[in-house]
């Protein structure tokens, strides 16, 4: 089987190996175990390989490099418009050679892939929609177009679009799905936490405005001011780091807040074994793996009511759901700090999340490739 991947993720090359963002690579390596040939249509850069990158594993990879597409400025938009015809041609040619077309959405390249796949009605296709599939959420126009194309059984044939969450009125093209980070062999009994001692909060993810790391820090600061002994570690990097550091300095939090930067999977696992809570009050999510990874080790997630997150937390039985209002969020957390209640939340989180392993994920991928 010749398996063609179409997406926006920027790859890096070192010798004969290709690297990319580790969560994406870990998922794609599961697909690649079950195909004979791989062709990737995606951007490639010359950046240095970092701790958050991982290698793709397959003996027969053909990389079909395309330019990145951006509309963040007038100059970038003009350049992107000029290269779109070239990208469409490359996607079309790769798709014509494919036995199975796999499109990574949402994204600008994903949109082009969605358009091109309309001309290959008889070929087997999957699309991974890694964003928020909730039809009521506010989305950019390009995202809404991708969703309409994927959902339409008139336009799109032989497609399984993998989405996070189970929403009413989805077509037969749409398959509720999940993703995973750990194998069944990595399942372990979490340590027993003491919720009467200093509470350890984690933030794991990009330090970007959409993830609202500053709100996370402000909430923990407020809990400390209310007499709840707490400390917080941030894992990740991004443009919000300067604001976070300034807030720590201005509010005398140097002794209780640490910035760990990007760390390896093993380093994060070690932190999750010790933490009490994961704070992630994002504006939008698809299937936030950081939440499932935290729950896997008994960490209680504190997250906003967005996308499929209420399903993941069983409407508050496996974690604490908050809204975007600061005072309401603090009040909701304060209302859930009784130790016996927290122990139950943690136990429920472990039981549920340890069912979403890479082994279960691989079994489902094999079914999709054989359908």
Is 291 found in the same domain as 242? yes
Is 194 found in the same domain as 131? no
Long-range contacts (CB closer than 8 Å, 24 or more residues apart) made by 93-99? 94/4, 94/6, 94/39, 94/41, 94/64, 95/4, 95/6, 95/119, 95/120, 95/123, 96/120, 97/2, 97/4, 97/39, 98/2, 98/3, 98/4, 98/39, 98/123, 99/1, 99/2, 99/3, 99/123, 99/124
Give mean pLDDT, residues 281-295: 88
Q: Which domain holds residue 270?
A: 184-353
Is 140 found in the same domain as 68? yes
Is 100 found in the same domain as 201? no
Q: Tokens 């004969």 identify what position?
A: 16
> In total, how many domains does the chain have?
2
pLDDT value, residue 112: 98
Q: Could you tell me which residue, 39 or 76, shows the higher pLDDT?
A: 39
221 — pLDDT class (breaks 50, 70, 90): very high
Per-residue pLDDT tens digits for 117-153: 999 999 999 999 988 888 887 888 999 999 999 999 9
Q: What is the CATH number of the domain that holds 193?
A: 3.40.50.2000
Is 198 found in the same domain as 80? no
Per-residue pLDDT tens digits for 23-65: 899 899 999 999 999 999 999 998 889 888 999 999 999 999 9
pLDDT value, residue 335: 96
Is 15 found in the same domain as 68? yes
Is 37 found in the same domain as 155? yes
Is 87 found in the same domain as 60? yes
Is 154 found in the same domain as 192? no
Q: Which two tokens stand for residue 67?
A: 């330019």
Q: Could you tell me which residue, 275 or 164, shows the higher pLDDT?
A: 275
Q: What is the CATH number of the domain that holds 43?
A: 3.40.50
Predicted structure pTM score: 0.79
Is 275 found in the same domain as 151? no
H-helix or E-strand containing 44? strand 44-45
The answer, yes or no, to whether residue 294 has pLDDT greater than 80, is: yes
Is 204 found in the same domain as 128? no
């Amino acid at each position: 089987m010749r398996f063609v991947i179409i997406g926006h993720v920027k790859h890096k090359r070192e010798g004969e190996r290709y690297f990319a963002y580790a969560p994406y690579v870990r998922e794609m390596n599961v697909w690649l175990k079950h195909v004979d040939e791989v062709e990737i249509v995606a951007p490639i850069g010359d950046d240095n390989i970092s701790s958050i990158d991982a290698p793709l594993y397959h003996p027969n990879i053909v990389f079909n490099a395309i330019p990145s597409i951006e509309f963040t400025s007038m100059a970038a938009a003009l350049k992107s418009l000029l290269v779109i015809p070239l990208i469409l041609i490359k996607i079309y040619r790769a798709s014509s050679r494919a036995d199975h077309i796999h499109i990574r959405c949402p994204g600008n390249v994903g949109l082009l892939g969605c358009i091109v796949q309309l001309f290959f009605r008889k070929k087997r296709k999957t699309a991974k929609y890694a964003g928020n599939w909730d039809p009521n959420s506010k989305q950019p126009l390009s995202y809404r177009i991708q969703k309409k194309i994927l959902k339409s059984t008139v336009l799109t044939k032989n497609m399984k679009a993998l989405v996070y969450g189970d929403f009413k009125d989805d077509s037969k093209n749409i398959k509720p799905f999940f993703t995973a980070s750990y194998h069944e062999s990595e399942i372990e009994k979490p340590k027993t936490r003491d919720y009467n001692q200093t509470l350890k909060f984690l933030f794991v993810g990009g330090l970007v405005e959409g993830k609202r790391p500053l709100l996370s820090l402000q909430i923990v600061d407020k809990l400390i001011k209310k007499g709840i002994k707490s400390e917080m570690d941030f894992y990740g990097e991004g443009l919000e780091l300067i604001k976070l550091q300034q807030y720590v300095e201005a509010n005398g939090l140097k002794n209780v807040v640490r910035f760990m930067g990007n760390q390896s999977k093993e380093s994060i696992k070690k932190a999750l074994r010790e933490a009490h809570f994961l704070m992630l009050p994002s504006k939008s999510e698809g299937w936030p793996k950081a939440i499932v990874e935290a729950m896997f080790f008994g960490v209680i997630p504190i997250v906003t009511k967005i996308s499929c997150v209420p399903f993941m937390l069983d409407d508050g039985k496996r974690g604490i759901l908050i809204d975007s209002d600061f005072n309401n969020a603090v009040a909701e957390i304060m209302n859930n700090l009784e130790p016996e209640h927290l122990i139950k939340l943690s136990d429920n989180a472990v039981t549920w999340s340890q069912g979403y392993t890479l082994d279960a994920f691989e079994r489902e991928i094999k079914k999709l490739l054989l359908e």
